[in-house]
């Protein structure tokens, strides 16, 4: 008997993969968490039936939310990761010796524990001496912060459910307030390909575009994401992701990557026409 895992990308499209075994299944106060082993993608973690990351492609996401802003901002000392309880983004950030403090705000303690047990190669990022893990609501955490962070990475996964508050106008305003005068925020933008996802992409761009003087969108190919195509938002108080990009300086750091390159950095902001039209239409409104 074969066991398959299927994730609905739309009501008419789903991604299915053959499963070797299930390592964990549990329900936290926030969500259902499953860890499975697939033939093609290795171990992967699903939240409420949707793949969050897999061993085979997680590096793409973690590198793109980390190295894009880090190669633009000239002096990041203090970083806030919203979500990020798996440790993957923190692990990428710990390659930068100039960073002094990394705060990870993750509401789901079970999620952190599951990742520590089943994905220690990622969760080790939480053990760096510069990392502080707070198990609490991110919106509440942010309300007390002002002029504190050089970089905020919103690693929240879904504009629905328990993370819905992390995609509101208030949230973007609180991020703006929590950033220093030259701070950058990077966030997940979702996939623009299917009509069912397009509306949420547009809404997120609208909020960031109105909250920050510089707001751009960039892209990556992530196989387990809906349509294999994923967008990220780059919102900044001062630095432009291309005009203030310093590739030579970043290369001098000797950071090891498997997906991100300085050439890819520039290309990631060159979006397909249908995505450009979608974003520009929102900017005109």
Catalytic residue positions, numbered: 155
Neighbours of 170 (CB within 10 A): 13
Distance, CA of 284 to CA of 16 (rounded, Å):
39
Residue 3 backbone phi and psi in degrees, to 5? -115, 130
Neighbours of 147 (CB within 10 A): 10
Give yes or no for a contact between 278 and 202, defined as CB atoms under 8 angstroms apart. yes
Distance, CA of 38 to CA of 28 (rounded, Å):
23
Q: Per DSSP, what are the bridge partners of residue 133? A: 104
Q: Per DSSP, what are the bridge partners of residue 233? A: 187, 217
User: Which parts of the chain fold into alpha helices (H)?
Assistant: 58-70, 88-93, 109-118, 120-123, 138-143, 169-178, 195-211, 247-252, 262-268, 273-284
Please spell the DSSP secondary structure of 193-219, one letter per residue.
SSHHHHHHHHHHHHHHHHH-SEEEEEE
Distance, CA of 65 to CA of 184 (rounded, Å):
11
């Amino acid at each position: 008997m074969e066991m398959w895992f299927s994730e609905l990308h739309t009501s008419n499209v789903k991604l299915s993969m053959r499963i070797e075994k299930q390592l964990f299944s549990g329900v936290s106060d926030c969500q259902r968490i499953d860890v499975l082993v697939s033939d093609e993608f290795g171990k992967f973690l699903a939240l409420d039936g949707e793949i969050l990351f897999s061993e085979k492609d997680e590096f793409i996401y973690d590198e793109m939310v980390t190295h894009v802003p880090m190669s633009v901002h000239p002096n990041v000392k203090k970083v806030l990761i919203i979500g990020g309880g798996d440790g993957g983004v923190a692990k990428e950030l710990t390659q930068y010796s100039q960073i002094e403090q990394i705060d990870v705000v993750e509401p789901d303690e079970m999620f952190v524990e599951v990742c520590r047990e089943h994905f220690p190669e990622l969760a080790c990022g939480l053990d760096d001496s510069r990392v502080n893990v707070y198990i609490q609501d991110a919106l509440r955490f942010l309300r007390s912060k002002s002029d504190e962070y050089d970089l905020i990475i919103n690693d929240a996964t879904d504009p629905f459910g328990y993370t819905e508050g992390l995609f509101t106008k208030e949230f973007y305003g609180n991020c703006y307030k929590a950033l220093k005068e030259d701070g950058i925020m990077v966030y997940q933008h979702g996939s623009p390909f299917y009509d069912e996802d397009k509306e949420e992409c547009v809404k997120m761009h609208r909020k960031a575009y109105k909250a920050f003087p510089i707001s751009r969108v960039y892209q990556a190919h992530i196989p387990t994401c809906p349509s294999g195509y994923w967008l990220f938002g780059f919102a900044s108080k001062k630095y432009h992701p291309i005009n203030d990009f310093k590739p030579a300086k970043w290369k001098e750091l000797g950071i090891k990557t498997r997906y991100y390159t300085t050439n890819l950095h520039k290309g990631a902001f060159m979006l397909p026409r249908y995505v450009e039209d979608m974003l520009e239409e929102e900017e005109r409104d």
